[in-house]
Structure 1
Amino acid sequence: MARKKKRVSEFEPEPKAPAPPPVGTSMRDLLKGVELAKPEAKKKPEPKKPEPPPPPPRPAAPITTTPARDLEGRPSETLRGDDRIAYLDALAGVRPMAGRGPRRLGAVAAPPSPPKPEERNRDAAARARLASLVAGGVHFDVHREEGWIEGIRRDAKPSLIDALYRATVGSEATLDLHGIRAAIAGDRVTKFVRDAQRHGLRRVLIVHGKGLHSDDGNGVLADVVVGALTEGGAAPLVIAFCTAPQAQGGAGALLVELTKR
């Protein structure tokens, strides 16, 4: 016999859902069902790879120390202790320049012996020949009296002697031959005249002394001076000459007029 279904009224209330289980308020009840995260295991640090060792330093070039005695040829033997060490440290690496080693003095040559009389005579003759060649075609008229000498080139005006003696302008340079030997006096006169003419001087004074012990009152040096002015190397640079006025030396000196530069 078939079972009949139970008819449910539409006004019958629906069945209630079962109530949740009561939850406790204690810490244990609150922590139930809570899963704590496990701490991660610490990783062990990987070992560092060893760094390659640095390359060995290059060997330094050897330093050669030049002893103090190799510099300037004079060792510093007076230094001692720390001063000597500091001095040698300061010279470390110093090398002498090529081709400039310490000077070495050789033997000193003995002075030459004085020339013999015959050699001096030959030299004087050679100088006289050379002076005559230098003078060339220059000719002078020379006049001498006691205490008076005058000379003038043949191509100059005779009145030049009076103008030279009476000139109000004195000499511009003076050569004093006192104490000079006659053998070298002529060369001194030639050099003096050349230097004066090269510097543009026109009138010079040559002091030869009065020759008080000579026969003609003119002396040996006076003849040497006249020869240098008329026949020597100074002749081409001379126009005229005469005994100087008393204020400038009188009979012991000659005024000389030079050519223009």
Structure 2
Amino acid sequence: MEWLNRMTKAIQYIEQHIDGELTSEDVAKAACSSTFHFQRMFYMLTNVTLAEYIRKRRLTLAAQELAMTDARVIDIAFKFGYDTPESFAKAFCKAHGITPTAARQPGVTLKAFPRLSFHFSLRGDQDMDYRIEQKEAFSVLGKKLHVTCADDENLEAIPAFWNEMNSSGMSDYLCKLSPESKMYGICLHMDMETQYYDYMIAVDTPAASLEETKKFEIEEIPAATWAIFTAIGPVPDAVQKTWQRIFQEWLPATGYEHTGGPEMEVYPPHDDPFDPRHRCEIWIPVTKK
């Protein structure tokens, strides 16, 4: 598949430049992809960010050089992108549990993070329905949570955020402000380098200016072409599994790429989210490659 070849080329590029200047933009270019789309795909396919993968590969190779050569620690630190021996020693100790100097002792245990490889796997055991829609820009009103996907923190923090909004009555309050709106769970301002983004629980901004809206934040969702998927089953499991399938199955198998814009979960208001028949949608902004 095309995506398999592109990912393989990206890994080859990383290995060829692992001891030189290496940017996410250059790696994405090697995969003929936008930087955001490549970083998002890389993380969803490997469960490690691109920056973390490069860091772990460099520390793996640095450990090998320390164990097998007489090169100075400072030279190895500079070779693998560290500005000072101190920053290298700190990162090395965190990765291997010992100092760079100790890595030269006979019989020490070092950790290796192997080079990634991608393989095609036929699935097709479950249909994945979707539709493509164009939507003009619109604004939403709601509350935000600043969250990270490091260590899968978002998988616990976001459901807890929903529980807090529901138990406090804030979700119902939002629905009353915009009674014709569905509920949105929106991923905004995603930074794949730091792994942080804002998650917003929101409704369409009311047409009338209301005094009550001042306690909420407003965000503009840009016009986009959306790939829309249906998640069926109790929240959050059904939603999380659908997210995984979008990035692991649908995007690699199609000619579409993520544009880097906001992602949305769209929920019917007042439905029971724990009902096995519960239906919601996931909206991904896409462009045809």
TM-score (norm 2): 0.24
- TM-score, structure 1 as length reference: 0.25
Determine which structure has the larger strand proportion and give its number: 2
> Comparing both structures, which one devotes a greater share of its residues to helix?
2
Of structures 1 and 2, the one scoring higher in RCO (CA 8 A, sep 6+) is 2
